[in-house]
A and B are shown apart, each in its own frame.
Chain A
């Protein structure tokens, strides 16, 4: 910071520095006329800038980030946050799911015990399992609210139909997550609910029974049914969901956000009549 010069008589004022005074003067190992030595602060700023520049030059991140973040948005309100709230719910499910997978054993003779061990013995296990359990319900509620916002605001219309379709596929995948996750605690409720759910699949003509066989890995609830549900629940379906969320967000960024239906487009007076 530069302080104002005090009003001193000219004789007492410090004389202006000679040109080249901050350059090397032959002492302290600096060559005569060498450029000034940067201070520690200069070096820190320069170092950070060059590290970012190094990344940017090699990834082309600046245009991508500008495309992603610096977009024109219309008037929005809190209903527009439901999509990102759903995304956050998904991330929460993913993180808590990873921690649950560290203790859970997908085996018909071990599943119930390992699940109750998470609740009763693992430090904060009850909390993480509760977050995953209640988070799944919250996520489904948020999805339907988000879907309602899109529907009632007419945001599914041209040119965003494809994003609506992707969203519907995502909804189905999330419901499949609910179905496959319900079996994993392996108590009476989850076992019989899954038996009923698989038999509902079997009620479809021609392919239904085969679908049920696929889910059970056989005609009866067998030794690999639970690991099959586990693999679908934590590998196959989440992979598809992540890929489709990527496509969903890309289209949001590409096509932009719709204004609420009660806002009319501003008409510009292209011609003004002069009187």
Chain B
């Protein structure tokens, strides 16, 4: 009487494990291979649909869609260094009226404006009306030389520095230049409380001390 064939359950080979139809040198059963292949094909199909969809929805996070536009706001004679003049620029002309925003412009005041080491001062100070709290439009009051926000009571001083209320940093500004005697306004930038420049941050983002690392620069700005 012949001994029954001995199988090793831990064998690498299907033949050695005693699987029906296993043949010499085969380590993965054909059924497992087909299963794996079907799962792989399904996963490929799902990824092929999901990735473009995700990219479509998330793409705008990774591109700067606002090109630099220098917008003329009038001749140099229109502005002085003691009071602000309101001008309207359109930062997103594609949307029409909602893209318009008021900018308060004055000439740089060497005596009153804070100097920052290693940073060229802009020839004109163009202050954004977007409140640094949650983005309501602020208004400049000449009598008190302060910017006031109607929503939650933010108060900013002559340079746009926070003097009261919930805002976390000074009002944003725009780059300025003078071309052929006319003042032009360019990109927006943000400031911390020492008037050091940062790339544009959203309102409510702190920029002082360790906070600035929690609100890093983004690809869109």
Chain A residues with CB under 8 Å of chain B are: 108-109, 191-192, 195-196, 198-200, 202-203, 205-206, 208-210, 212-214, 216-225
| Given A109-B96, A199-B135, A213-B218, A220-B204 contact (CB < 8 Å) | no
Question: In the complex, how many angstroms separate the beta carbon of B101 from the nearest chain A beta carbon?
Answer: 9
Q: Which residues of A contact B58 (CB under 8 A)?
A: 214
B218/A108 in contact, CB under 8 A: no
Size of interface on B: residues with Cβ below 8 Å to A: 32
A222/B218 in contact, CB under 8 A: no
Complex formed: what's the CA distance from A202 to B134 in Å?
9
Question: In the complex, how many angstroms separate the beta carbon of A108 from the nearest chain B beta carbon?
Answer: 4
Q: Which residues of A contact B65 (CB under 8 A)?
A: 217-219, 222
Q: List 17 A-B contacts (CB under 8 A).
A: A195-B136, A196-B134, A196-B135, A196-B151, A202-B203, A203-B204, A205-B214, A214-B57, A218-B65, A218-B66, A218-B220, A219-B64, A219-B202, A219-B218, A222-B66, A223-B92, A224-B60
Q: In chain A, what residue has the closest Cβ to B62?
A: A213
B98/A108 in contact, CB under 8 A: yes
Determine if B205 is an interface residue (Cβ-Cβ < 8 Å).
yes
Determine if B23 is an interface residue (Cβ-Cβ < 8 Å).
no
Q: In chain A, what residue has the closest Cβ to B220?
A: A219
Q: Which residues of A contact B134 (CB under 8 A)?
A: 195-196, 199-200, 203
Determine if B28 is an interface residue (Cβ-Cβ < 8 Å).
no
Determine if B221 is an interface residue (Cβ-Cβ < 8 Å).
yes
B218/A209 in contact, CB under 8 A: yes
Complex formed: what's the CA distance from A221 to B92 in Å?
8
B94/A223 in contact, CB under 8 A: yes
Q: Which residues of B contact A212 (CB under 8 A)?
A: 202
> Which residue of the partner chain, among A192, A202, A219, A223, contacts B95 with CB atoms under 8 Å?
A223
B94/A222 in contact, CB under 8 A: yes
Question: In the complex, how many angstroms separate the beta carbon of A229 from the nearest chain B beta carbon?
Answer: 13
Q: In chain B, what residue has the closest Cβ to A223?
A: B94
Q: In chain B, what residue has the closest Cβ to A212?
A: B202
Q: Is the interface of B mostly helix, strand, loop or mixed?
A: loop
Q: Is the interface of A mostly helix, strand, loop or mixed?
A: helix
Q: Which residues of B contact A219 (CB under 8 A)?
A: 64-66, 200, 202, 218, 220-221
| Given A196-B135, A196-B136, A221-B95 contact (CB < 8 Å) | yes
Question: In the complex, how many angstroms separate the beta carbon of A170 from the nearest chain B beta carbon?
Answer: 22
Q: Which residues of B contact A206 (CB under 8 A)?
A: 214-216
Complex formed: what's the CA distance from A12 to B151 in Å?
101
Q: Which residues of B contact A209 (CB under 8 A)?
A: 201-202, 205, 215, 218
A213/B220 in contact, CB under 8 A: yes
Q: Which of B184-221 contact A (CB under 8 A)?
A: 200-205, 214-216, 218, 220-221
Q: Which residues of B contact A213 (CB under 8 A)?
A: 60-61, 218, 220
Complex formed: what's the CA distance from A216 to B99 in Å?
13
A218/B215 in contact, CB under 8 A: no
Determine if B105 is an interface residue (Cβ-Cβ < 8 Å).
no
Complex formed: what's the CA distance from A208 to B63 in Å?
17
**Residue among B58, B64, B65, B214 having the largest count of chain A Cβ atoms under 10 Å:** B65
B61/A214 in contact, CB under 8 A: yes
Complex formed: what's the CA distance from A209 to B214 in Å?
10
Sample of 20 further A-B pairs with CB below 8 A, known A221-B92, A224-B60: A195-B135, A196-B135, A196-B136, A198-B135, A203-B204, A206-B215, A208-B202, A208-B205, A208-B215, A209-B215, A210-B218, A214-B57, A214-B60, A217-B60, A217-B65, A218-B60, A218-B220, A219-B200, A222-B92, A222-B94
